[in-house]
A and B are shown apart, each in its own frame.
Chain A
Amino acid sequence: MAHLRLRKFNTRDVYEGGRIANDMCMVVRAGNFIFLRGQTGFTLDHKFVGKGDAAAQADQAMKNVKVLLDEAGAKMEHICKITTYITDRAYREPVYAVVGRHLKGVFPCGTGLIVNGLATPDMLVEIDIEAVIPEGEASR
């Protein structure tokens, strides 16, 4: 079965200065495996929220994660790995408080990195999620 590629968007509409008209997507489901585009303070309608506020951006990112997993037939409980990129160590505490609240009871593996930047200078945090739908639950 071909992979499911959901919430496609045209890169020319989303990336600043984008001149290539390509479809990318927010989520790919390959069998039981779910791959999400790195989530940030951008809503799923491509509006940026939480300028200068890492916690607000993390909250938006995790809200997106929940919607995207649901659309792919998965749940928060299926998250296996979360990679959290922040651009300054000062954001760690506020971001992790928000992420922890969204992940209550899930217990994923995490990796936390401080990087020099993300796709736009306004982005202070990006969250990468890998999820697997357990065998026997893959009904869709």
Chain B
Amino acid sequence: MTHDRLRRGGSPGPELGANGCMIVRAGDAIFVAGQTGAGAGMGRGAEDAATQADRVLLNLKSLLEEAGSSLGDICKLTVYIDDRAHRIPVYRTIGRHLRGVHPVSTGLIVRGFSRPEILFALDVAVVSQRGARHRRLRKYHSDATRYGNEWQPLDCEFCMAVIAGKHVFLRGQTGQTLEDRLLVRGDAHAQAAQAMQNVRVLLAEAGASIADICRIVLYVTDRAFLVPAREAVLEGLEGTPCAMSEIVVKGLASTELLMEVDVFAMKA
């Protein structure tokens, strides 16, 4: 059986233009093109960012429904903005649309998107819930937690780990402990070591282990942090060879965070 690929090509069309599609259904796994919501006449203000986020979430809802899924199946969000100033308007909009879902989330500030007027893009990892519901561990409300040492009124409901069948998705891990403390400042190796310690605990709580990790994406906010952060990640992998990508981004959830690591695991 081949995968269902919905909304191929077209104009303005998906990210890959004529060669892409908006949504792929591969069994229970649903892949979605990065969603953006820029329109004619939009500026770069907070309300423009909120408007783009609103469009993205509405489009996402209808795309998932077309594929026989729903927002409630979302396991992980990767939120990309190009300016820290967009963080609050974008997240508050996401939070309003995803009330009660509790996905894990990774938030990145990047240099840009396909067109300069785009302020925000959203990637989602989605697994259909047939029968068994996804398990969502350590649910939290964004406003009751810290990002670095800041409180940010994002009004989002998230969690730390989602178990969807054999898939385990984790919140992007940083130098903050699972008790929400940033103990190490200015030291990318120490932050990455804390992140990997969190990964070990969260995977165990999800009924998995480091040996189940398939893929890692390491984000750092400066190239100078890459070697020390990578070393701590490699140490934390305890000899499990996995497929890793490394990206230098403009920023993370708070300026104090020097690195973040995304981990994708599947139970054997």
Asked if A99 contacts B243 (CB within 8 A), the reply is: no
Q: A8-B241, A25-B242, A115-B110 are in contact. Are A80 and B3 (CB under 8 A)?
A: yes
Asked if B9 contacts A107 (CB within 8 A), the reply is: yes
Asked if B245 contacts A126 (CB within 8 A), the reply is: yes
> Size range of the interface on A?
35 or more
Minimum C-beta distance from A104 to chain B (A): 7
Count B interface residues, CB 8 Å: 60
Partner of B29, one of A11, A38, A126, A132: A132
Asked if A107 contacts B19 (CB within 8 A), the reply is: yes
Summarize B's interface: helix, strand, loop or mixed. mixed
Asked if B243 contacts A80 (CB within 8 A), the reply is: no
Asked if B113 contacts A109 (CB within 8 A), the reply is: no
Interface residues of B (CB under 8 A from A): 1-3, 5, 8-9, 14-24, 26-27, 29, 31-34, 80, 110-114, 116, 121, 123, 166, 212, 214-215, 217, 223, 226-227, 230-231, 234-235, 237, 239, 241-250, 264, 266, 268
Q: Give me the 5 closest cross-chain CB pairs, A-B, nearest first.
A: A111-B34, A38-B245, A117-B248, A110-B15, A132-B26
Query: Can you list 16 A-B contacts (CB < 8 A)?
Result: A1-B268, A8-B241, A20-B231, A22-B235, A24-B244, A25-B241, A33-B214, A80-B24, A108-B24, A109-B14, A109-B23, A109-B24, A110-B15, A111-B33, A115-B250, A134-B27
